[in-house]
Amino acid sequence: MTERTCLSIVLAAGEGTRMRSAKPKVLHEVAGLSMVGHVLRAVAAAGGTAAAVVVGPDRDDVAAEARRVKADATIHVQTERLGTAHAVLHAEADIARGFDDVIVAFGDTPLVTPQTFGLLRAALASGAAVAVLGFEAADPLGYGRLVMEGGSLAAIVEEKEASEAQRAITLCNGGLMALAGGTALALLKRIGKANAKGEYYLTDAVALARADGLATAVVLAPEAEVRGVNDRVQLAEVEAIAQGRLRETAMRGGVTMVAPETVFLAFDTVLGRDVTLEPHVVFGPGVTIADDVTIRAYSHLAGCVVDQGAILGPFARIRPKSRIGAKVHIGNFVEVNRTTIAAKAEANHLAYLGDATIGEGTNIGAGTITCNFDGADKHPTIIGRDVFVGSNSTLVAPLAIGDEVLIAAGSTITLDARDGALVFGRAKQAGLPGRGAEMIRANKARRAARKAREQGKG
Ligand code: UD1
Ligand code: MG
């Protein structure tokens, strides 16, 4: 089975008008990845070695996203939308390269799993010329109906062509199909458009195969899996299903979630064993969390690696290109951006660490800010090991602070500091004995006088 070659053709030429969006439908995201990206990943995971994507005219953005996810995907522009078979035939040159299996998938149907694509391929491996993904529809309206004869699939009849008896069939076409490479082109090219919509229906491949005496097969999937997205309500429904799957996989893999329904994962979130996620933790794409990490409530992470035993949050924000070392503590209202923090360092309260490198065991005091941006460019801040950065320090980058440096609280640091130094960057304190009490009492007296005046008027 694995040695069979496979081309997947992803149809993504739909306009998606019901999304009411400036963005093409298939670029809308589910769990942090475009819908077309999900489809390309799933077919690749099912052994799809090659991919062709059919896009609408002037859709460089869809083409670029397809290539981002699968670099060698071929792109075909369908200028006129004349039906699903017409769309598939845009990839004729790819089909003609000769693959054992040809999978047709829809770019707006992102929940089909690699396992299901695998079952379609298995049906081809067992001799089917056409394998269709079917499901039992709660409401079959609008779907192609699977017409079975003697236990095998005889035809797919689209809603508009269906007789009353056929409309009563609840076994429906999920839209996806797999075709044996050897006969695919011959079948596709014979599909005509003499039907109610005047479109080239991919589904006609079934009856044509039967007429040639070729075998057809149906693979069954749960309805949730074949769910397509036409508007933003359906997008949210699909997101909920995707999140449910990701949470379940995480928990089965050894992650504790106190309130899983409040945790939002990305398609590629990697979570180690004995990770604890408190409520309302949100993951953007590209996060890898090692074992024994605790992420406390209301934290947001994206594009970062967190090493074993770190504790983040509550209310921590870890932004892309960051690495949080083992046993590091990041506390509330700390933002970490393009920053590497070595093991056992701590930033427990109210800090911004951007473009920084922080050494092992260093303590970043409350209110510390790396001033990484000068209005035009970003600059690095390098802090050594076992440094103590006093509270409310302003570190103006570019800056290099050695090991075991102590920065006095309230400092504005603009000059590098050598290993072991104590540095102050604040105005020298002055004091006038008795003057504070004098001023406080004077203020009190002024307030009292004002109140008396106002009462006199009223
Ligand atoms: C299709 C199936 C139907 C199935 C349903 C499941 C056909 C003829 N019918 O109907 O049996 O129950 O899906 O959702 O295949 N597309 C293009 N170019 C085209 C036409 C379509 O790229 O010229 C793309 C669309 O963007 C979409 C997909 O193909 O992603 C399916 O097209 P759509 O018009 O939604 O087909 P349905 O009428 O829903
Ligand atoms: Mg549709």
Q: How far is the CA of 202 from the centre of ligand 1 (A)?
A: 8
Nearest CA to ligand 1 atom 30: 106
Q: How far is the CA of 50 from the centre of ligand 1 (A)?
A: 22
Q: Is the pLDDT of residue 117 over 60?
A: yes
Q: How far is the CA of 175 from the centre of ligand 1 (A)?
A: 7
User: Which pLDDT score, from 0 to 100, does residue 1 have?
Assistant: 46
Q: Which residues pair with 288 in a beta bridge?
A: 270, 305
Cβ atoms of 208 and 190 within 8 Å: the answer is: yes
- CA torsion 429→431→435→440, rounded to 10°? 40
- Ligand 1 atom with the smallest distance to the CA of 108 is 30
Q: Report the chain's terminal Cα–Cα distance, integer Å.
A: 94
User: Which pLDDT score, from 0 to 100, does residue 458 have?
Assistant: 72
Q: How confident is the model at residue 2 (pLDDT cuts 50, 70, 90)?
A: low
Arithmetic mean of pLDDT over the chain: 97
Long-range (24+ apart) CB contacts under 8 A made by 414-420 are 419/384
Name all domains of the chain by residue range, CATH numbers in brackets.
Answer: 6-226 (3.90.550.10), 232-423 (2.160.10.10)
Cβ atoms of 132 and 217 within 8 Å: the answer is: yes
Cβ atoms of 30 and 235 within 8 Å: the answer is: yes
How far is the C-alpha of 112 from the C-alpha of 382, rounded, in Å? 46
Select from 106, 170, 197 the residue to mutate for testing ligand 1; criterion: most ligand atoms less than 8 Å from CB.
Answer: 106
Percent share of the chain, pLDDT over 90: 98
Percent share of the chain, pLDDT over 70: 100
83 lines ligand 1 (CB under 6 A): yes
How far is the C-alpha of 411 from the C-alpha of 269, rounded, in Å? 39
User: Which pLDDT score, from 0 to 100, does residue 15 have?
Assistant: 83
User: Which pLDDT score, from 0 to 100, does residue 3 have?
Assistant: 86
Mean pLDDT of 150-173: 96
Q: Is the pLDDT of residue 350 over 60?
A: yes
- CA torsion 259→332→378→356, rounded to 10°? -100
200 lines ligand 1 (CB under 6 A): no
What is the pTM assigned to this prediction? 0.94
DSSP state of 422: E
Mean pLDDT of 411-428: 97
- Ligand 1 atom with the smallest distance to the CA of 174 is 6
**Which pLDDT tens digit goes with each residue over 193-240?**
999 999 999 999 999 999 999 999 999 999 999 999 999 999 999 999
- Ligand 1 atom with the smallest distance to the CA of 173 is 12
**Which pLDDT tens digit goes with each residue over 40-97?**
999 999 999 999 999 999 999 999 999 999 999 999 999 999 999 999 999 999 999 9
Per annotation, catalytic residue among 28, 300, 349, 379: 349
Q: Is the pLDDT of residue 457 over 90?
A: no
User: Which pLDDT score, from 0 to 100, does residue 200 have?
Assistant: 97
- Catalytic residue at 349? yes
Nearest listed ligand to the Cα of residue 173? 1
How far is the C-alpha of 319 from the C-alpha of 299, rounded, in Å? 11
Q: How confident is the model at residue 272 (pLDDT cuts 50, 70, 90)?
A: very high
